[in-house]
């Protein structure tokens, strides 16, 4: 098949598959193998069963692996079972990368993801537990080391992880939650409206995403007055965390100690317009946009499946409306941000993401010299979007910086 770029321009080069979106997802799954779950050999066993550019073969390969891993884990001793349950969760999550959320199998895979991840937590005796977080915009699924509404005067560090448009709450364990636990931090992982399984609850991306995050930060601070809060965001989360804190009322109450973003973004609508294929964004309005999207989907089954997931998350199949909803909360007012920032950028990120990140860092670093901007070159293996191809290096970098600023 011909080479095809990733839908979001998140990697910039190919390693295993000629389809860019499939190849980015492949690097993502391999990146998780550094931290637990599927071993590289098990990941490649799935790859060998996949037809390049065919999303159904991707889903079948990883769904089958998830089923086998869970069945094996059920009969093993706790240590082996823990690895097996995490492997099953990762495989189920991997299958979700390229499935239509309207497919009945999607719900089954999500149920297995949650069941197996929580079995992994139980088998390891983790302090992390599933929680349901009530907000004015709806109830959100998450994981936390303690109920955020339980009063405590402990001077602990709370490590809050916020994902983007392609994450479930379980993903956030790999994007820093697990490492923060190992460092002795308290941890909060949450799916905001539009993320993870929340569209099944009628919750979609938009201003509600930001409002929910603001509420949670204020509540966490209200019940943990002596805690130090570190707010981290990956992918779209790099926009959500900045926008949550450019509200003076939220910022003054939450008193967040430090920000970590990969990548810090101020104008997510512009990023989406410039990151998506020109054929989809040149005429993003009305029936012409829908026609172009459907034609593109017929030419690329992977693109069609990826777009269906985004339509589901935003509650619309109109590209112009989707972009408007993404930017509904507005552009971040960086001058209002009052915390040191670790800005992380991979060399293979879209040019627009790098530009915005550089502007954010330049502004904040003038007020907070302890801020740092890290560029991961291709040779580091951490150059892809959110450093999915070398998460261990990214987390080493984050923890080293926090040791200096907290």
Does residue 26 sit in the same domain as residue 103? yes
Query: Is 6 inside any structural domain?
Result: no
Q: How many domains does the chain contain in total?
A: 3
pLDDT tens figures, 28-85: 999 999 999 899 999 999 999 999 999 999 999 999 999 999 999 999 998 899 999 9
* DSSP-derived pairing of the beta strands 228-234 and 258-262: parallel
Residues 385 and 395 grouped into a single domain: yes
Q: Check which CATH number belongs to the domain holding 95 and give it.
A: 1.20.1440.110
**349 and 389 housed in the same domain:** yes
Nearest to 89 by CA among 123, 133, 139: 123
- Model pLDDT for residues 246-283, shown as the tens digit of each residue: 999 999 999 999 999 999 999 998 888 776 655 455 55
Within this chain, do residues 196 and 115 fall inside the same structural domain, yes or no? no
The CATH number covering residue 366 comes to 3.40.50.1820
Tell me the pLDDT of the chain averaged across its residues: 92
For 232, residues 6+ apart whose C-beta sits below 8 A from its C-beta are: 159, 160, 161, 162, 175, 176, 241, 259, 260, 261, 398
In a domain, 12, yes or no: no
Counted residue by residue, the chain has a size of 406
What are the phi and psi torsion angles at 383 (to 5°)?
-85, -15
Judge if pTM exceeds 0.75. yes
> Quick one: pLDDT at residue 365?
98
The predicted model gives 183-201 an average pLDDT of 98
My answer on whether 201 and 170 are in the same domain is yes
Of all residues in the chain, what percent carry a pLDDT higher than 90? 79
Report the pLDDT value the prediction gives residue 231, as an integer from 0 to 100: 98
Q: Residue 8: inside a domain, yes or no?
A: no
Rounded distance, CA 169 to CA 117, Å?
A: 10
Residues 150 and 228 in one domain: yes
Q: Is the pLDDT of residue 135 over 50?
A: yes
**Is residue 350 located within the same domain as residue 393?**
yes
Q: Which range marks the domain in which residue 318 is found? A: 271-325
Pairing relation of β-strands 341-346 and 157-162? unpaired
- pLDDT for 279 equals 47
| Statement to judge: residues 344 and 217 lie in one domain | yes
Question: 295 and 170, same structural domain?
Answer: no
């Amino acid at each position: 098949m011909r080479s095809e770029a990733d839908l979001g321009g998140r990697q910039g080069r190919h390693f295993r598959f000629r389809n860019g979106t499939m190849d980015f997802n492949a690097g993502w799954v391999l990146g998780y193998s550094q931290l637990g779950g599927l071993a590289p050999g098990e990941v490649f066993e799935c790859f060998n069963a996949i037809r390049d550019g065919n999303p159904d073969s991707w889903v079948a390969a990883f769904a089958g692996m998830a089923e086998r891993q869970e069945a094996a884990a059920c009969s093993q001793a706790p240590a082996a079972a823990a690895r097996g349950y995490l492997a099953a969760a990762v495989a189920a999550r991997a299958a979700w990368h390229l499935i239509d959320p309207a497919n009945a199998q999607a719900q089954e895979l999500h149920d297995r993801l949650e069941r197996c991840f929580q079995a992994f937590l139980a088998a390891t005796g983790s302090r992390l537990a599933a929680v349901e977080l009530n907000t004015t915009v709806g109830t959100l699924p998450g994981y936390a080391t303690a109920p955020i509404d339980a009063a405590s005067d402990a001077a602990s560090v709370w490590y809050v992880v916020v994902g983007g448009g392609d994450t479930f709450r379980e993903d956030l364990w790999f994007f820093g939650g697990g490492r923060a636990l190992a460092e002795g931090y308290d941890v909060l992982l949450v799916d905001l409206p539009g993320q993870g399984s929340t569209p099944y609850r009628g919750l979609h991306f938009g201003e509600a995403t930001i409002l929910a995050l603001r509420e949670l930060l204020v509540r966490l601070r209200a019940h943990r007055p002596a805690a130090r809060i570190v707010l981290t965001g990956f992918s779209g989360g790099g926009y959500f965390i900045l926008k949550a804190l450019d509200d003076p009322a939220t910022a003054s109450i939450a008193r967040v100690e430090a920000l970590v973003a990969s990548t810090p973004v101020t104008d997510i609508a512009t990023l989406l317009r410039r990151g998506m294929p020109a054929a989809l964004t040149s005429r993003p309005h009305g029936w012409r946009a829908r026609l172009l999207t459907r034609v593109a989907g017929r030419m690329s089954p992977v693109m069609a499946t990826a777009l269906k997931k985004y339509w589901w998350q935003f509650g619309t199949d109109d590209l112009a409306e989707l972009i408007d909803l993404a930017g509904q909360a507005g552009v971040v007012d960086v001058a209002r941000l009052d915390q040191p920032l670790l800005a992380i950028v991979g060399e293979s990120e879209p040019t627009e993401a790098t530009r915005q990140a550089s502007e954010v860092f330049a502004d904040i670093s003038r007020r907070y010299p302890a801020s740092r901007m890290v560029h991961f070159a291709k040779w580091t293996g951490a150059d892809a979007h959110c450093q999915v191809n070398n998460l261990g290096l990214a987390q080493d970098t984050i923890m080293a910086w926090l040791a200096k600023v907290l």
